[in-house]
């Protein structure tokens, strides 16, 4: 992979010049000028329809941005990514979540053994899941398991919970709970709801060293052994980890440890045995369909020209807004309750990956990286933060995601949902001019004084950019494809920003300091900090003494 400072490329210079022409850019005008704008700026890949035309771009913008991707060596980088080069250089690892969904027959020569290991580990998981679901594997007291508790955090929680929520329409009779936070109240609330006799606990931790997960797992195991024999632990607790020794030390039966691979990063691991709870909740056929959907997007990303490549063009939009418009954040608005955890999942995937201020040569970057993402499902978000997108002072590019077909036959609901989905992007783009707002007020019979007073508040500037991602139907396949689309978008941005997207050193500092502070709390030693930290420690200590 070449380390190229994007701002020193010819394409970047061209983009800077090109951007100067955007002072009086108007989407309304662009649509008026060119009747085929939508068609030209929409990409379709089978069930995915991605309309970029309501973005602050012209066809030339796309051309310049695509040239930037090329000049930054994206083509070679994609090849390195898919063939197992050590692109996570600071941790000396390949980045091969794509191998987890590759059929053996499609494996690159260099990756045949990774793919066959992945298939073997998936098969072990599937056999186990089938055994639990069909009742061949029973609880310590010979009962069928009916509840799963996933114990993990970060990538060992967010991916599984997001997918499980997304695929509620595909769930079986199993009830799933997710325990992630180290907060004891979170654990207690889950323990209140479950019967130890019929519950399977899945401890998910790549490192098997994460404070939150080990604390929760220990508390739950203690609770469990108060209710059932200690010997029942081996039937009720399983682990997903790449640190098999630590899992064994915790007391997990060797045959119930499902290994993860070093070459899969935590936040990209839902496709691996980390998906155990999801597979238990939706069954192995649906889990396989999820993988197949992701593989379909892998092929699209790897084999499609950049101009027509959905993840590449999505990434380039982020570069455009982040580095030229200097937008501070982006919103992700899924118009389905099923995807209510998608923004949280993407916050980890995107911000843990690309929140980096040092380039691949170890120098401080001189340009912005790491876009901030946030969001909530529509239509709820329309009644929450949309005011700021419509009339605030910030530019907030947004992804609008929806599924054309609903899961249940409620056409009245679905038509209303989709009407809002479509209307919002049109409203954000067009806004409302002063004269349009004035006409509306006149039509409503307001007096001249009232009109003069109200008019400034009724104007919408418009030109708030959106990308519409309309997918035929929410299925395990399309959800797999959607998540893989974002994974490749993240990769593309990291390549252009010349940063390492697959490490997460920034998480360490706070983690380490928390150990020291825990020591201080336990030993009531509050002095050895700045006055603010000491006072907070003391107040906490006094309230708990």
Catalytic residues: 352, 383, 511
Give whichever of 77 and 260 is closer to ligand F6P, judged by the CB atom.
260
Residue 88 interacts with ligand F6P (CB under 6 A): yes or no = no
Residue 160 interacts with ligand F6P (CB under 6 A): yes or no = no
Residue 155 interacts with ligand F6P (CB under 6 A): yes or no = yes
Name which position in 402, 504, 520, 537 contacts ligand F6P (CB under 6 A): 504
Residue 59 exposure: Cα atoms within 13 Å on the Cβ side: 10
Residue 267 interacts with ligand F6P (CB under 6 A): yes or no = yes
Stretch touching ligand F6P by CB under 6 A, among 203-211, 219-227, 304-312, 393-401: 203-211
d(CA 372, CA 351) in angstroms, rounded, equals 7
- DSSP designation for 425: H
Stretch touching ligand F6P by CB under 6 A, among 20-28, 38-46, 105-113, 201-209: 201-209
d(CA 273, CA 240) in angstroms, rounded, equals 6
β-strand partners of 468: 51, 400
Q: Is the dihedral of CA 167, 168, 172, 174 positive or negative?
A: positive
* Residue 166: CB minimum distance to ligand F6P, A: 19
Compose the 297-336 pattern: x for residues touching ligand F6P by CB under 6 A, - for all others: ----------------------------------------
Token pair 């993402």 is at which residue? Answer: 373
d(CA 532, CA 538) in angstroms, rounded, equals 10
* Residue 72: CB minimum distance to ligand F6P, A: 25
Give whichever of 82 and 268 is closer to ligand F6P, judged by the CB atom.
268
Distance separating the N- and C-terminal Cα atoms of the chain: 56
d(CA 373, CA 315) in angstroms, rounded, equals 13
Residue 68 exposure: Cα atoms within 13 Å on the Cβ side: 33
Name which position in 150, 205, 424, 425 contacts ligand F6P (CB under 6 A): 205
Residue 273 interacts with ligand F6P (CB under 6 A): yes or no = no
Residue 213 interacts with ligand F6P (CB under 6 A): yes or no = yes
Residue 153 interacts with ligand F6P (CB under 6 A): yes or no = yes
* Residue 208: CB minimum distance to ligand F6P, A: 7
Residue 154 interacts with ligand F6P (CB under 6 A): yes or no = yes
* Residue 314: CB minimum distance to ligand F6P, A: 23
Which residues make Cβ contacts (< 8 Å) with residue 355, sequence separation at least 6? 369, 370, 506
b/e for 45-57, b at 16 or more Cβ within 10 A? bebbbbbbbbbbb
Name which position in 453, 507, 514, 535 contacts ligand F6P (CB under 6 A): 507
Judged by CB under 6 A, how many residues of this single chain contact ligand F6P? Answer: 14
What are the CA-CA distances from residue 314 to residues 307, 405, 474, 493 (Å)? 11, 24, 20, 9
Give whichever of 58 and 269 is closer to ligand F6P, judged by the CB atom.
269
Residues engaged in binding ligand F6P (CB under 6 A): 153-156, 205-207, 210, 213, 266-267, 352, 504, 507
């Amino acid at each position: 992979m070449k380390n190229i400072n994007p701002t020193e490329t010819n394409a970047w210079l061209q983009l800077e010049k090109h951007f100067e022409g955007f002072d009086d850019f108007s989407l309304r005008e662009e649509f008026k000028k060119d009747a085929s704008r939508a068609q030209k700026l929409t990409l379709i890949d089978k069930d995915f329809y991605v309309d970029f035309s309501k973005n602050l771009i012209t066809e030339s913008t796309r051309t310049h941005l695509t040239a930037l991707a090329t000049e930054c060596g994206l083509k070679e980088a994609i090849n390195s990514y898919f063939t197992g080069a050590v692109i996570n250089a600071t941790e000396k690892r390949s980045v091969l979540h794509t191998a987890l969904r590759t059929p053996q027959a499609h494996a690159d020569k260099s990756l045949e053994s990774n793919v066959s290991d992945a298939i073997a580990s998936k098969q072990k998981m599937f056999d186990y899941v089938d055994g639990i679901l069909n009742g061949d594997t029973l609880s310590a007291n010979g009962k069928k398991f009916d509840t799963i508790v996933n114990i993990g955090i970060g990538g060992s929680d967010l991916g599984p919970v997001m997918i499980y929520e997304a695929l509620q329409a595909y769930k079986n009779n199993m009830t799933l709970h997710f325990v992630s936070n180290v907060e004891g109240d979170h654990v207690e609330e889950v323990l209140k709801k479950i019967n130890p006799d019929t519950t399977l606990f899945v401890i998910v931790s790549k490192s098997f060293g994460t404070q939150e997960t080990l604390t929760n797992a220990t508390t739950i195991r203690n609770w469990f052994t108060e209710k059932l024999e200690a010997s029942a632990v081996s039937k009720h607790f399983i682990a997903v980890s790449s640190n098999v020794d630590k899992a064994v030390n915790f007391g997990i039966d060797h045959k119930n440890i499902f290994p993860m691979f070093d070459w899969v990063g935590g936040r990209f691991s839902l496709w691996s045995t980390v998906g155990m709870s999801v597979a238990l909740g939706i069954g192995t056929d649906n889990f396989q369909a999820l993988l197949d959907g992701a593989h379909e997007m892998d092929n699209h990303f790897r084999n499609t020209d950049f101009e027509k490549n959905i993840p590449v063009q999505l990434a380039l939009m982020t570069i455009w807004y982040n580095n030229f418009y200097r937008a501070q954040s982006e919103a992700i608005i899924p118009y389905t309750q099923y995807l209510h955890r998608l923004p949280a999942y993407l916050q980890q995937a995107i911000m843990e990956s690309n929140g980096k201020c040092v380039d691949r040569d170890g120098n401080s970057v001189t340009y912005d990286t790491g876009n901030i993402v946030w969001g909530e499902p529509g239509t709820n978000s329309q009644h929450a933060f949309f005011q700021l997108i419509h009339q605030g002072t910030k530019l907030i590019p947004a992804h609008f995601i929806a599924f054309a077909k609903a899961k249940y036959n409620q056409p009245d609901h679905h038509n209303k949902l989709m009407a809002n989905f479509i209307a919002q992007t049109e409203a954000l783009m067009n806004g409302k001019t002063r004269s349009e707002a004035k006409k509306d007020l006149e039509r409503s019979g307001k007096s001249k004084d009232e009109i003069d007073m109200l008019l400034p508040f009724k104007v919408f500037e418009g030109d708030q950019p959106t990308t519409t991602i309309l997918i035929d139907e929410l299925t395990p396949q399309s959800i797999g494809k959607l998540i893989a689309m974002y994974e490749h978008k993240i990769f593309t941005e990291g390549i252009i920003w010349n940063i390492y997207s697959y490490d997460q050193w920034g998480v360490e500092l706070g983690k380490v300091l928390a150990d020291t502070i825990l020591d201080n709390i336990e030993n009531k030693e509050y002095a050895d900090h700045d006055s603010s930290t000491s006072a907070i420690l003391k107040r906490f200590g006094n309230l708990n003494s």
